[in-house]
Structure 1
């Protein structure tokens, strides 16, 4: 890309999204205004005093965009509510209609279904199932099969399966427990100002004798939201029995469905059949951990009698007699307190921990409102110290920690271990109570997230490795870093020091030293090998198989990776190097190379770049570049002055300076060819390129190659496009060629004129336009058709066939356009 062309390309104006630009006013006779087509296939047009949106064939699609619907990204998914001629519809992202614009209202607030109004009547529409029921004077949603519907001034219930009214439209209104986990087969109904219960079979379940508020609604046999003469009552639907409290507070229903009743200040329990379970002789019956941050869910209740507490279990009665000062329930375990001391008990009353602790809680007590998550581990306390009890194994850890927490083994993973802390030191236990790490370390982390065996431990800010099975250090904490070798085998890279003063060594997983920590340089080779060189004690460089742990000594003190698994550069003096194959145990080329770590720009010798994944490496010899293969053979002699490495498609660039006698050298041009993965030019063509910069973006555009030649009249550069095989798609006769829409289109420019070609090089718009309205910031959809183009003093829409779009409502087809840059 030339600098002149870059300036020209910037004159192509970025456009606003359709629907954003709108004139403050539009008078009859003024030119029509238009905006760019957006990615959904419509654009805003203003003609006279009317603003509307058109589709890609120029038809008036709708008049106003009202609101978005969700964030679905499929073509058939709804895009938003629009209006046309005063009626509402829902447009799909494909441009088609989900609901045609023929409705008086569309209410999308309910998400999965929308309430629609047509000819003064209402219905419900589902994206998946279409119109759910006929049109009524008003409608509501109950459970997907049943709907409350209004006919005239009265309400009934419509059964979608039968297509008939299950409850006739004879009622003042309905209420329903839509948020209940189990859907009920009845509805709360109002008639003549009183509320009752109607079954979906049309039968009265509870007579119309109550007041009702929308709270405490359930889907079972109890009705809790009723009151009579202002006094709260609970009604048992099957029998019609009423229960009320002594005071004005409503009665409580336990998680198991039992009703807590109150008579003369004493409490009892009534079961599902409205018969007594516990007599009204208790001072209180409450949900465990009620109004507590620990929360609760389950089949238990706390009963109080004589100032003491016990535990009730559904279907079993009083499980723990009320003999305790306090009770907390954690799933099927009970923490019981007497005289200030807590113990732990199971559902049989068996003592798991004696009442000798100042506290016994679930290990996750602070967040217990979210449940135990199946973790049966408890935290005990004696004075200021905490201990642990693992209920499944019976393992007890006496109180010795200042803090105890759950921890995950991976970022954002589930809790998997228990961590105790004492004076800054950590201990770690698995969920069975096995001690993985004893106190004595400031920090810990897993060496391998797939196993609990090895921990990286920190002491005095130094790292070591701890074996949880052997329960001992295998690498003492004496290193700044411990790293895995490539290949993730049974070897550990130890690191001490800082930038410019590193010391690397290798330890086996049993702690034995495999390589002394004398090496100053570390590198990886081919993803499975590690390379250490520059030992302070003069030892030779080594290559380590990261998977098998095999150590290969190299015949030189210094070595350098060339990013190939079977080759390295070796050097005795860190100045001159040879290409060496550790597998063959010999050099693969007689050529001498400059050792890169010591290269200062003045050292003589060939400089070997790293090998590409295609097995070729650029080598610089006396200022020129050639290509070497992995056998040390030259596949292209050193003839290029400048080069680019191979891209992902296996194409590189080789460039030559023009001879001093060539006039083009005065403006800094180079001759270049594209090189294939065989080291040979992809075509015989030699192109002309700028010498100011040699970067990928100047030679590659997406999956294509930029080709150039010189203008015979001006000496400037002309650009074109070829594919990766060298086949010319767009001949080099343009000032600029730029790829858009991920290579689907090419923007062409000559002087101050612009055009567009498709990915095959076919010209869509000739280079005759003064301006094109595209959005450079919409990556992947910068160019959208139809496109607003400016030629001969007129803005018009052009299709991807290069034809002028005829727009409904704008007979002339010409527009004014807001060309303000975004």
Structure 2
């Protein structure tokens, strides 16, 4: 069950009762125990079911719908049903058994009879037994015999006259026949009850079952057979003989110790003159694809293609099949051939394998690229373009441009250096660099390369180093242009500069301070010669010298602070090249204590910033003008909905608060009051949670007699949702419910302020830590020394079978 949290750790002690209650979950169910009987009730107080069959293994209906489609098998009075997580009956609890076969087909047993049902509730008739064939056809038993029911036509397709059926349900394609047993013998019939293979065989259900023209699971007199369905012909093999059916349907047959091929109509395809005919890599999990077989004759191997015959004569010592390419070897020399027998690489290599080292398990992934080998060195051959890279690498690997992406590059390593190629065989980066990575994955033209610990930039189109390998760090410069930030480091002492990707130096790497400006520019200051700061526009490369040595960027604006002495600063617009107002600010990190200086922390995303000057806070915009002149003693940063709070502070007084208080006002994204009302708040440091609850504004008032401070809620136009008469108001379930507290009493209100449960409860059973779904109705509440379930209308829920008995509630976690 869901973990529960009680507002107060109370015990309902002293209650003589036989009823025990738990909290309702989000599925609309609550577990109760009445007179020793355990069951689940719904939100109407009715007994829904007694227990989950297996609560840890829900089913998805259908499987691709995610958690919202989960359902559980539940039991009521010994019968089973299927109930969704939303609390709806998918199947009523009236079945002896519920079994899942597929996402859209379930087997049910009722009153000793069996049927199948879909998620839409469509039922087959009930039979003595029912089994699944392919979703349309079901083998069913009636009067002790088996037949086949067609769910599409809703009739018996095959009469119930058989002893049993078997079907290759896991085959690659659905067959149009079934294995049938009659009078103890097995044969094959179609879904119109036509006999395809007579009833003359023994049969065992095993992994060799097929759904094509061949039966490989029959035997006669204990001897295994291959039976051809179209002709009825039998092919037997001794225990030490080996038979196989190729992907094109051809059967490998043996005559006098030699092997040939016959097709699905038992016509000879290859004469029995071969020492072996086998599918490529049958036991190596090599991701084999294609209608090919390897043939062997006189200890030499070749390739057979279905419908084409021998396409590579058996003249080779070794044959490997990679999609439609063949690696052939003779006398230890390997070559690569296409399916026409054309030599793409004549024999001359000590080995040739596919580029994908995991080819054996995952296939070629559509990549026709091969690794060649000469002694201990590897090369590359790109079959689709014909490009060959001679062996010269110790390792060759597929590479992706960023984590989690498909590989689009190939890296060859030699003595700690890597060369890079694309999938067409073009060399993007020659040997000579220890590391490489794309400068920007949006464009793979430029690579950041490293040699002896220093970094530069290589242009894969011009095939030149465009930025020398002199730097410790290189990263893209803000803005849409082709520029980079270059950084040198000496004992964590960084120096910054800017280079264009054509190799030109835009700003020498001598500046000790760098800030990004509004995602479009970079701000540089602190060069050794004491020169003024510089701004580089990343969109067009424009360079602007600022009228001060020290600068600092500000979040969410192009405005910057400039300073001549790193203590006193002015607000400056670097594009318009002007001081934006007459305020003098403390430069960040200067630790200035001059009360004549203004303090600016950051601009919010709405373009406004709190500025403290003369001990008071006001709001400015990005033009530098006052939106609200300095007035407030305290100010809260704008929240995610671009709202803020300004407050006036008042000293402590005996009649109000020994710690003092604040009078506060809500301000919107335009800097103007959301509502004109001024409220009283505590004198603690301002925090979002003290002034905003969900989408609502926290309003406060004080009791003139007691000095008590109470809270309520208003919307953004000032409409009071809850009057300020509560000690605590907390939002739950997306502001659908509010938990109310006054003293040690609790209640619940709705989103419109309607009181659902009055603030009269000593305890409410809810999950106070789960703000998204912590309150579920009916809700267990404790007042007048008694626990009861209360509905969302505020009524007491009458639970069937409990009567007037009081509930006993465990006040811990379970």
TM-score (norm 1): 0.94
Give the deviation of 1:198 after TM superposition. Answer: 0.8
Q: Hey, what does 1:69 align to over in structure 2?
A: 58
1:302 aligns with 2:294: yes
Q: Hey, what does 1:352 align to over in structure 2?
A: 344
Distance 1:800 1:54, change over 3 A: same
State which of 504, 513, 524 in structure 2 corresponds to 1:512: 504
Q: Distance in 1 between matches of 2:210 and 2:652?
A: 93
Paired residues of 2:652 and 2:659 also in contact (CA < 8 A): no
Paired residues of 1:594 and 1:603 also in contact (CA < 8 A): no
Paired residues of 2:400 and 2:409 also in contact (CA < 8 A): yes
Q: Distance in 2 between matches of 1:270 and 1:743?
A: 74
State which of 142, 149, 157 in structure 2 corresponds to 1:158: 149
Q: Hey, what does 2:187 align to over in structure 1?
A: 196
Q: Distance in 1 between matches of 2:25 and 2:674?
A: 39
Give the deviation of 1:452 after TM superposition. Answer: 2.6
Give the deviation of 1:527 after TM superposition. Answer: 2.3
1:55 aligns with 2:42: yes
1:31 aligns with 2:18: yes
Q: Deviations over 1:602-625 (max 9, x none)?
A: 575111121112221111113321
Q: Distance in 2 between matches of 1:634 and 1:417?
A: 56
Q: Hey, what does 1:713 align to over in structure 2?
A: 705
Q: Distance in 2 between matches of 1:366 and 1:802?
A: 64
State which of 391, 396, 403 in structure 2 corresponds to 1:404: 396
Q: Equivalent residues in 2 for 1:775-814 (5 A)?
A: 775-812=767-804, 814=806
Paired residues of 1:246 and 1:264 also in contact (CA < 8 A): no
Q: More deviation in 142-151 or 570-579? A: 570-579
1:368 aligns with 2:360: yes
Q: Distance in 2 between matches of 1:677 and 1:662?
A: 37
Paired residues of 1:245 and 1:263 also in contact (CA < 8 A): no
Distance 1:725 1:460, change over 3 A: farther
Q: Equivalent residues in 2 for 1:724-743 (5 A)?
A: 724-743=716-735
Q: Hey, what does 2:811 align to over in structure 1?
A: 819
Give the deviation of 1:552 after TM superposition. Answer: 2.2
Give the deviation of 1:499 after TM superposition. Answer: 8.5
Q: Distance in 1 between matches of 2:5 and 2:135?
A: 56
Q: Equivalent residues in 2 for 1:556-567 (5 A)?
A: 556-567=548-559
State which of 129, 139, 150 in structure 2 corresponds to 1:138: 129
Q: Equivalent residues in 2 for 1:190-229 (5 A)?
A: 190-215=181-206, 216-229=208-221
State which of 747, 770, 777 in structure 2 corresponds to 1:755: 747
Q: Deviations over 1:700-730 (max 9, x none)?
A: 2222222222233332321212223333211
State which of 646, 650, 653 in structure 2 corresponds to 1:654: 646
Paired residues of 2:6 and 2:767 also in contact (CA < 8 A): no
Structure 1: unaligned runs, 5 residues or longer: 1-8, 16-26
Distance 1:222 1:498, change over 3 A: farther
Give the deviation of 1:462 after TM superposition. Answer: 2.1
Give the deviation of 1:293 after TM superposition. Answer: 4.5
Structure 2: unaligned runs, 5 residues or longer: none
Distance 1:409 1:728, change over 3 A: same
SS in 2 for 1:368: helix
Give the deviation of 1:665 after TM superposition. Answer: 5.9
Q: Hey, what does 2:29 align to over in structure 1?
A: 42
Q: Distance in 1 between matches of 2:417 and 2:703?
A: 75
Give the deviation of 1:627 after TM superposition. Answer: 1.2
Q: Report how many aligned residue pairs link the two structures.
A: 801
Paired residues of 2:557 and 2:607 also in contact (CA < 8 A): no
Q: Distance in 2 between matches of 1:376 and 1:11?
A: 64
Give the deviation of 1:200 after TM superposition. Answer: 0.8
Q: Hey, what does 2:7 align to over in structure 1?
A: 12
Q: Distance in 2 between matches of 1:548 and 1:633?
A: 29
Q: More deviation in 321-330 or 94-103? A: 94-103
Q: Hey, what does 2:547 align to over in structure 1?
A: 555
Q: Distance in 2 between matches of 1:427 and 1:602?
A: 59
Q: Deviations over 1:250-290 (max 9, x none)?
A: 52111221111112221111112211111111111111123
Q: Distance in 2 between matches of 1:75 and 1:543?
A: 52
1:270 aligns with 2:262: yes
SS in 2 for 1:369: helix
Q: More deviation in 765-774 or 156-165? A: 156-165
Q: Distance in 1 between matches of 2:653 and 2:34?
A: 63
Q: Distance in 1 between matches of 2:102 and 2:346?
A: 54
Give the deviation of 1:132 after TM superposition. Answer: 4.2
State which of 179, 184, 206 in structure 1 corresponds to 2:175: 184
Q: Hey, what does 2:159 align to over in structure 1?
A: 168
Q: Deviations over 1:205-258 (max 9, x none)?
A: 011111112221121101111111222111110000111224355521112211
1:534 aligns with 2:523: no
Paired residues of 1:14 and 1:773 also in contact (CA < 8 A): no
Q: Distance in 2 between matches of 1:589 and 1:408?
A: 51
Distance 1:550 1:662, change over 3 A: farther
Q: Distance in 2 between matches of 1:603 and 1:491?
A: 42
Q: Hey, what does 2:422 align to over in structure 1?
A: 430
SS in 2 for 1:697: helix
Q: Distance in 1 between matches of 2:6 and 2:50?
A: 32
Q: Hey, what does 1:617 align to over in structure 2?
A: 609
Q: Distance in 2 between matches of 1:248 and 1:157?
A: 38
Paired residues of 1:745 and 1:758 also in contact (CA < 8 A): yes
Give the deviation of 1:660 after TM superposition. Answer: 5.8
Paired residues of 1:246 and 1:263 also in contact (CA < 8 A): no
SS in 2 for 1:52: strand
Q: Distance in 1 between matches of 2:519 and 2:724?
A: 42
Q: Deviations over 1:627-679 (max 9, x none)?
A: 11222222222222221111122211112221366754632432222222332
SS in 1 for 2:589: helix
SS in 1 for 2:24: coil
State which of 538, 544, 549 in structure 2 corresponds to 1:546: 538
Distance 1:711 1:11, change over 3 A: farther
